[in-house]
Amino acid sequence: MEKSSHNSTGALQADDPRLSEFSLFSGLDRQELATLIKLTDTVHVAAGEKIISCGDPGHCLYLIISGSAVVTAKPPDENVELARLKSGDFMGEIALVDDGPRSADVTALEPCTLLRITRVTIGVLAGLKPSASVQILSALGSELVKRLRISNLKYIDLLHRTRGEVQA
């Protein structure tokens, strides 16, 4: 999906009331949001279409404007659902700070409208509206920390359960 199958028709408008509800944009004023929206692409994805493929190079994050998606990983034996995403959630944010490959698959569960934000978008925004780029990066950082804390708790729980099985 990232390479070719997107449709930028029906572009999002900065005055769309859904945008003010998203945590990623909560610190932006109307002008900052309008500038950001001008720098981004709106992507439309059909139900069942893969949005992100594990192993592919990442160059952007996607914010779900409408619709829902599922995040899955492929351990050796089966697909494992990692998360379900809905309007206001975003995925692929690591690509804004790291050139590594995508770490999971993300597939649309229903038709989705996505906002694509690239590293270049954030760089240009930093030149035009520096405080807006700081706000977005801060919101991304907060979300990454939240996800890391959840992952740490799951890892600790797994260690405790594994040790219990070994001792039993």
Per the domain annotation, does 6 fall within a domain?
A: no
**Average per-residue pLDDT in the chain?**
87
pLDDT at 165: 65
97 vs 124, residue with greater confidence: 124
Domain membership flag for residue 1: no
Sheet bearing 112-118, strands edge to edge: 41-45, 112-118, 60-66, 90-91
Is the confidence at residue 8, as pLDDT, over 50?
no
CA-nearest of 151, 146, 96 to 126 is 96
Domain limits for position 41? 19-167
Asked whether the predicted pLDDT for residue 11 surpasses 70, the reply is no
Q: How many domains does the chain have?
A: 1
Q: What is the per-residue pLDDT for 3?
A: 38
Q: Which residues contact 108 (CB under 8 A, 6 or more apart)?
A: 45, 46, 47, 48, 49, 50, 51, 67, 68, 69
Share of the chain above pLDDT 70, in %: 90
Residue at 122: amino acid letter: I
Which CATH number fits the domain that encloses residue 159?
Answer: 2.60.120.10
Q: Does 13 fall in a domain? A: no
Examine residue 5 and state whether it is found in any structural domain, yes or no.
Answer: no
Question: Does residue 64 lie in a domain region?
Answer: yes
